[in-house]
Structure 1
């Protein structure tokens, strides 16, 4: 099983069990130990590899314990401090990690609540743990670009030098990505002012700020839609794929009241990945129906692709609101069959089934 699959399996377990995990000890047993064993590959029951309740006297602090120490060749390499699941991680939780990091040979420290893993090292000062993590792994939303870096810490291919050398770049790229995502979601005044100054020569008054805040949001949506279209064109080698428009990126079409309660729009957050998946499905069935007949409606638990904006004519459902993604395909009885996919490109493997679904609806209409 690939590392990505092991992460997806653990993420599914977390989603299923998080509601009943109420203590730190339960978090360690249910989530953290499986991460150490199934993801990193260490034997949690072998004290030569994993030391629970690791103790090392630090200055006047005697008998303090840290939750786990991972040992290789007799040397402590990774320290792990755990907090209760559903509790937000804060730097204050890492006080013991700071002290133990300086007292051992460990170069990697991990602070976790079983769902989010913050990885630290000593980039700023030798043998002193940094105040900010160089890598954050969120099992509720796994960034696949981080998987090769996690692999470097696993038992089979442990490569500390490689991950330390990449840590500084990982640290700043991660922070920049989160900062950019925040500005795309809700632009701050400084961001609006910066972009406005590039295109507007007048004074940045309150009226101008209000006007350009909306324009920045709209321009951001259009920029993202352009990126989606460019990726699809590159993937298909075509230049005539129906484009994602700003209207596509806005609220979903609701010309007909949905039958399912799940199509309620409260709390729905349409992602770029869902829109990319929608464009792939639309490109696939383009040979059978005109693209303007293929629409989408986002829901809390899935993203629906419909024919003629009719929820009784579902073409596909994209279940992307989880670590393991699924493509839902509909048969003649309109029963949904979910197929696990690791990437959007795998949607093309179901092209024949998607086209057949559309042809069935067209045949029923003709009859």
Structure 2
């Protein structure tokens, strides 16, 4: 199983089980140990690789423990401190990490609740752990741009120097992305004022602030929708180049106009977390054939479509999860004829990895032929 597939499987497990996890110990057993073993590749039962309840004398804090220490060549490389699942992570939770960071050889410290993993190093001052993480991995919303750096901390690909050299850029780019995402979801007064003063020449009074607050929120929403629509139109347009010179294949059910009409009229759609989890699994499987960003999704009232290049003519799979009982995975043959496969759980999707990869491979072969 590829790195992305293992990560997607763990993310699905976390989403499905987190409500049942009520203690820190349960979090470690259910989520953190699998992360160390299946994602980072270290043997959690080998004390030469992973030391649980790692202890070192730290000033007057003798006998204090860190949940896990990952070892390489007899030296501590990564320290991991755990909090219980669903508990928001705060830097105050990392007191042991701060103390241990200065007295061990570790250059990487991790604070996690099993779903979010905050990675720290010592960019601001040597041998002193930074207050802010340089990498944040959220299994509920995986940022695929971080996966290459995460792999460098695995046993197989360990490259600490490369991680440290990229840490400063990762730290600030990640922080900016999270700050921007927060502003787009809920604009602050400062952000509203910044944009208002760009378009309004009068004084920025309380009355103007109240007037522009909803306008800024509306403009942001419209802007994001337009960006998505532009991308969709580009994908649709590129797939229909030359269509006037050739007859469309009989197996293509929907025309460009029909697709756009459906997208316009398909209201009342509710995208569930289970559908998104299934999409992540299919995407992880397809990533052995194409880059992750090329695997897109569109939801409808009947099914959840997973497409290559966001192109309706390149269906990879469909998730038929809207029924009350049985769930199905729709797969496509070389003629784009769909066959529904029953699923008992999301993990069953991995059993159809060969079919999913074959479908993506056919589209790539057609494009290169």
- Do Structure 1 and Structure 2 share a fold, with TM-score over 0.5? yes
Cα deviation for residue 287 of structure 1 reads 4.2
The alignment status of 1:157 with 2:145, answered yes or no, reads no
Shift of 1:149: 1.1
Q: Give the conservation status (yes or no) of the 8 Å contact 1:79–1:108.
A: yes
Would the alpha carbon gap of residues 112 and 339 (structure 1) be closer, same or farther in structure 2, given more than 3 Å must change?
farther
Match of 1:25 in 2: 25
1:306-345 correspondence to structure 2 within 5 Å: 314=302, 316-317=303-304, 327-328=318-319, 337-338=328-329
User: Are 1:131 and 2:102 counterparts?
Assistant: no
In the TM superposition, what are the counterparts of 1:65-214 in structure 2 within 5 Å? 65-214=65-214
| CA positional deviation for 1:116 | 0.9
**Cα shift at 1:236:** 4.5
Residues 21 and 351 (structure 1 numbering): CA distance in 2 closer, same or farther, change over 3 Å?
Answer: farther
* Comparing 99-108 and 143-152, the one that deviates more: 143-152
Match of 1:4 in 2: 4
**2:254 aligned residue:** 285
Question: Structure 1 residues 290, 140: closer, same or farther in 2, change over 3 A?
Answer: closer
Q: TM-score normalised to the size of structure 1?
A: 0.72
TM-score normalised by the chain length of structure 2? 0.71
Q: Which residue of 2 aligns with 1:298?
A: 269
Q: Distance in 2 between matches of 1:154 and 1:288?
A: 47
**Whole-Å separation in 2 of the counterparts to 1:223 and 1:84:** 38
Q: Is 2:68–2:81's contact at 8 Å kept on the other side of the alignment?
A: yes
Using the alignment, how far apart are the partners of 2:131 and 2:222 within structure 1?
A: 37
Distance 1:289 1:226 in 2: 20
How far residue 317 of structure 1 moved from its aligned partner, in angstroms, is: 2.2
Please state how far the C-alpha of 1:82 moved relative to its aligned partner.
Answer: 0.9
Q: Is the 8 A contact 1:43 1:49 kept in 2?
A: yes
Unaligned runs of 5+ in 1: 242-282, 320-324, 341-347, 355-367
Deviations along 1:7-48, one digit per CA (max 9) or x if unpaired, are: 111112122222222221111111111000000000111111
Structure 1 residues 336 and 34, CA, compared in 2 at 3 Å: closer, same or farther?
Answer: closer
| 1:329 Cα offset (Å) | 5.5
The answer (yes or no) to whether the contact 2:101–2:107 under 8 Å persists in 1 is yes
The Cα of 1:353 is off from its aligned counterpart by 5.2
Question: What secondary structure is seen at the aligned counterpart in 2 of 1:66?
Answer: strand
Equivalent residue number for residue 364 of structure 1: none
Partner-residue secondary structure (3-state), 1:155: coil
In 1, Cα distance between the equivalents of 2:240 and 2:257?
A: 16
Moved more, 198-207 or 187-196: 198-207
**Please, which runs of 5 or more residues in structure 2 have no aligned partner?**
242-251, 277-297, 307-315, 339-369
Structure 2 CA distance, aligned partners of 1:141 and 1:126? 32
> Are the equivalent residues in 2 in contact too, given 1:284–1:351 (CA < 8 A)?
no
Please give the alpha-carbon distance, in whole angstroms, between the structure 2 residues aligned to 1:76 and 1:9: 28
CA displacement at 1:226 relative to structure 2: 2.8
SS in 2 for 1:153: coil
Partner of 2:311: none
Spell out, residue by residue over 1:65-100, the C-alpha distance to the aligned partner (whole angstroms, 9 max, x if none). Answer: 111110111111000111111222111110000000
Describe the SS at the equivalent of 1:298. Answer: coil
